Amino acid sequence: MKTKSQWQELGQSLNFRNLAYINGRFQPSASGETFPSINPATEEVLAEVASCDQADVDLAVTAARKAFQAGVWSRKSPAERKAVLLRLADLMEQHRDELAVTDTMDMGKSISEMVSIDLPDSIDCFRWTAESIDKVYGEIAPTGNDTLGLISHEPVGVVAAITPWNYPLMMATWKLAPALAAGNSVILKPSEKSPLSVLRLAELATEAGIPDGVLNVLPGYGHTAGKALALHHGVDVLAFTGSSRVGGMLMEYAGQSNLKKVWLEAGGKSPMVVFDDCSNIEKAAQTAAAAIFSNQGEVCIACSRLYLQRSIKDRFLTALLEAASAYQGGDPLDPDTRMGALVDKAQLDTVSRYIKSAMDDGATVLTGGLPEYIPGRGFYVEPTIIGDAKNSMTFVQEEIFGPVLAVGEFDDEAEAIELANDNRYGLGASVWTDNLSRAHRVSREIQSGMVWVNGWGGGDSTMPFGGVKASGNGRDKSLHSIEKYTDLKTVWISL
């Protein structure tokens, strides 16, 4: 691992790509407009980035459609597409330090997380999906003797992917790998808060052999570039990761335009439930801290609601407060930093508002609290744990997306399940117990797409990632992710 000064040096030496990537070329936005991309730890402007709108979306959709119809990618054999995507994974590996430092400077997360989580996961996602694509078979239906019923998977055409700022490279990768592997053309709109790493990724994709027009990247705001993509009649599938609020708007845009399919990976307010038969309280407490403070709590699966069985509450809180003290905010480029800066001032204000509302509602701040913002010094919040939390309180119900943990308590299993399910989201859940039957019972009853037993956040490219209820509908990763980017074609042949 590089030292802090080596990371700083690398960051200073980078020439950030800041233009739209359309048809294999960087170009300014049609309007000439730009927006600043800011380093949240220092508030310095890293780059003025092309701000795309309808005109750029039209250009990108035309390029993407033309490439798709020409068959330069869509009609390549799966084995050929696999080879190109494996080359892209190799290029990401070669440029991993550059990609890591770009996301760290662009959105404020610690470099150690970039190096240990985002980069290996993103590279593996490309490799695993590329390796899978020439192993996906069609089917022959069990029809009668005088017919042959063929069922095959076809690429959908033009995919628009709209992604958030919290894992800029990784969230983009989870869409790009399956969409490209399946033979589609893709237009990616990254968040305006962290657009830089995927612009470099697009360039590497061309170097790997992705033909022009097959991968386009349009930086820009949600209400301009994002909305124009979502309303576009030339887009066949919209794959989104972001808030449930915007996810709902995208469904409306699809309804107002061409009924494009909309896949949503949306928000969360995941519970962690710890039963008194959990023997490893230390480990559970350390995991509870990691589950809310890693990536500054800006994690869709952050366990922001902790429910403790009453008899272990005090012992658990002592261990939790100790574990939380390791997450004080620091320079994201320092490899020892475990918590970086929030992405921007708006996010800092949102987090402050929720901490204030918790205090107004009568909850008790056990550590951390309202941040003191010093202009020019970055957007930092202390790890904050708030006890006496009740499900009726706003900060327990709504997604905060910051390092703020609500702690409540329960008496028995039925109450734990009821508290965990009393929320509009259903993304992840963490359950701690030494009782195998209880682990199965509670996992089955909890309304969420993912459950971790005696852990949090576990998963790899083989496992689907996604939620239920207001957390969305689609699944990223695993073979199931490919289903989002293919249509079933049936051919009924009369013999």
Chain position carrying tokens 């859940």: 429
- Given 83, 86, 148, 249, the residue binding ligand NAD (CB under 6 A): 249
Phi, psi of 141 (to 5 degrees): -75, 150
We find the least distance from the C-beta atom of residue 243 to ligand NAD, in angstroms, to be: 3
262 binds ligand NAD (CB under 6 A): no
Q: State which of positions 23-42 bind ligand NAD (CB under 6 A).
A: none
The whole-angstrom separation of Cα 8 and Cα 221 is 29
We find the least distance from the C-beta atom of residue 194 to ligand NAD, in angstroms, to be: 9
Q: State which of positions 442-471 bind ligand NAD (CB under 6 A).
A: 467, 471
Output the DSSP codes for 395-408: HHHS---SSEEEEE
Between residues 268 and 408, which has the closer beta carbon with respect to ligand NAD?
268
Between residues 178 and 267, which has the closer beta carbon with respect to ligand NAD?
267
Give the three-state DSSP class for 468.
strand
We find the least distance from the C-beta atom of residue 147 to ligand NAD, in angstroms, to be: 42
Q: Distance from CA of residue 344 to its chain's centroid?
A: 18
- Given 100, 156, 171, 429, the residue binding ligand NAD (CB under 6 A): 171
We find the least distance from the C-beta atom of residue 166 to ligand NAD, in angstroms, to be: 5
Where b means 16+ CB within 10 Å and e means fewer, 78-99 reads beebbebbebbbebbeebbbbb
We find the least distance from the C-beta atom of residue 445 to ligand NAD, in angstroms, to be: 21
Output the DSSP codes for 57-77: HHHHHHHHHHHHHHTTTTTS-
Where b means 16+ CB within 10 Å and e means fewer, 173-183 reads bbbbbbbbbbb
227 binds ligand NAD (CB under 6 A): yes
Sequence-distant (6+) residues with CB within 8 A of 394 are 354, 357, 361
We find the least distance from the C-beta atom of residue 86 to ligand NAD, in angstroms, to be: 25
Q: State which of positions 402-441 bind ligand NAD (CB under 6 A).
A: 427
Between residues 112 and 241, which has the closer beta carbon with respect to ligand NAD?
241
- Given 7, 73, 165, 432, the residue binding ligand NAD (CB under 6 A): 165
| Size of interface with ligand NAD, in residues (CB under 6 A) | 32
Between residues 157 and 222, which has the closer beta carbon with respect to ligand NAD?
222
Task: Quickly count: other Cβ atoms within 10 Å of residue 372's Cβ.
Answer: 10
| Contact range with ligand NAD by CB under 6 A, out of 41-49, 158-166, 307-315, 350-358 | 158-166
Between residues 227 and 338, which has the closer beta carbon with respect to ligand NAD?
227
Amino acid at 291: A
Q: Please, which contacts does 76-84 make with residues 24 or more away whose CB atoms are closer than 8 Å?
A: 76/183, 77/134, 78/133, 78/134, 78/136, 78/181, 78/183, 79/134, 81/130, 81/133, 81/180, 81/181, 81/183, 82/130, 82/131, 82/133, 82/134, 82/181, 83/209, 84/208, 84/209, 84/210
91 binds ligand NAD (CB under 6 A): no
Between residues 309 and 430, which has the closer beta carbon with respect to ligand NAD?
430
The token duo for 90 is 């190799």
Phi, psi of 268 (to 5 degrees): -155, 165
188 binds ligand NAD (CB under 6 A): no
We find the least distance from the C-beta atom of residue 25 to ligand NAD, in angstroms, to be: 22
Between residues 37 and 243, which has the closer beta carbon with respect to ligand NAD?
243
266 binds ligand NAD (CB under 6 A): yes
* Residues designated catalytic: 265
- Given 108, 472, 478, 485, the residue binding ligand NAD (CB under 6 A): 472
The whole-angstrom separation of Cα 381 and Cα 403 is 7
Between residues 250 and 393, which has the closer beta carbon with respect to ligand NAD?
250
Sequence-distant (6+) residues with CB within 8 A of 333 are 4, 7, 8, 11, 41, 101, 104, 105, 111
268 binds ligand NAD (CB under 6 A): yes
Contact positions vs ligand NAD (CB under 6 A): 162-166, 171, 189, 191-192, 221-223, 226-227, 230, 241-243, 246, 249-250, 265-268, 300, 399, 401, 427, 467, 471-472
